[in-house]
Amino acid sequence: MVSEKHKFLVVDDLEHMPLMSRLSISDLPIIFVTDAVVEDGQISEVLSAGAVDYVCKPFDTQILKLIAKNFVELTKKNLELKKEIETRLKSH
3-state secondary structure the chain: CCCHHHHCHHHHHHCCCHHHHCCCHHHCCCEEEECCCCCCCHHHHHHHCCCCEEEECCCCHHHHHHHHHHHHHHHHHHHHHHHHHHHHHHHC
Structural domain for 26, as ranges:
4-91
What sign does the CA torsion over 19, 25, 27, 29 have?
Answer: positive
- Tens digits of pLDDT across the chain (92 residues): 445 445 445 555 555 656 555 556 667 788 888 887 777 788 888 888 778 888 888 889 999 899 989 988 998 898 899 999 999 999 87
For the chain, what is the mean pLDDT? 77
Please tell me the total count of domains within the chain: 1
